[in-house]
A = this chain, B = another copy of it.
């Protein structure tokens, strides 16, 4: 079973990487970029028998820092 885990910063958490990218795009001449948020994506190949609870646990224990990040699990 293939999973895609998308980890993004929660609203309200400062994103210096996103800000740097936004400024860099401006410097390169791309106008009209009003916001950039950077996040992470993990593509996992797991055994078909893996439970939803185990998948959720992987995310909250290792893949995302739930204090400042949200995660979304997509089956593909």
Contacts and interface: CB of A to CB of B under 8 A. Distances in A.
Contact of A36 (B18, B33, B44): B44
B28 A61 contact: yes
Interface string A28-58: 1011111111111111111101100010011
Identical chains in the assembly: 2
Contact of A32 (B25, B31, B35, B50): B50
Interface of A: 6, 8, 18, 21, 24-25, 28, 30-47, 49-50, 54, 57-58, 61-63
5 contacts: A8-B43, A30-B54, A32-B50, A35-B45, A41-B41
The 3 A-B residue pairs with the shortest CB-CB distance, nearest first, are A32-B47, A35-B45, A39-B41
